[in-house]
Amino acid sequence: FARGGAMVTGIDLAPSSIALAAQNVAIEQLRAELIVADGEALPFRDGSFDLVYAHGVVQYTSDDRALVGECRRVLRPGGLAVFQVYNRISWLSALSRVTKVDLEHADAPVLKRYSIAEFRDLLKEFSRVRIVPERFPVKTRLHGGLKGAVYNTCFVGLFNALPRTLTRRFGWHLLAFCEV
């Protein structure tokens, strides 16, 4: 966003994440206001932003409704929120159960996965919501050995050979484009 000329404000609950982001911004010679803050209680006035981008955030918060409500509150009329969460009803979740291989971040203190209906319900206060399941999978680098090889060659190949109309709804990520 900063490379494209946007005025960027980034928040994270962890000071170490803000410090890393500040280093990246400096290395890239970009500008961004980076703040340690809680997404469930944003330190901004109502209607402060045109866009809120929360990719991989909602599923890790203890109060997802508070976080989504805060994102909506800080958007200007006509503003857009973009959220990404993990799809609970996905091919990857099923494969994880069958192979008994945990998915990434399974050890996080809070990790939620949503069905499309659950995600839509979470976002119901927005005037317009479009949810797009993200087709998956791609080859993994997280797992090795026989399970990783079978996943990368057999499952990924078979899944990607199937028509998108059969598999898209079961993608690993759900993206939501939400208007105030």
Using pLDDT thresholds of 50, 70 and 90, give the confidence band for residue 7. Answer: very high
73 pLDDT tier (thresholds 50, 70, 90): very high
Looking at the chain, the whole-number percentage of residues with pLDDT higher than 70 is 97
Segment 69-77 shows an average pLDDT of 98
Mean pLDDT taken over the chain? 91
pLDDT at position 174, please? 94
Q: Each residue of 83-93: pLDDT tens digit?
A: 999 999 887 78
Return the amino acid letter for 2.
Answer: A
How far is 25 from 164, CA to CA, in rounded Å? 37
In angstroms, what CA-CA distances link 109 with 60, 61, 126, 132, 172?
8, 9, 28, 27, 20
Q: pLDDT tens across 88-139, in order? A: 988 778 777 887 777 777 888 899 999 999 999 999 999 999 999 986 667 7
Q: Whole-model pTM?
A: 0.86
pLDDT at 147 over 80: no
| Number of neighbouring beta carbons within 10 Å of residue 142 | 10
The answer for residues whose C-beta is within 8 angstroms of residue 151's C-beta and 6 or more apart is 95, 99, 101, 137, 139, 140, 143
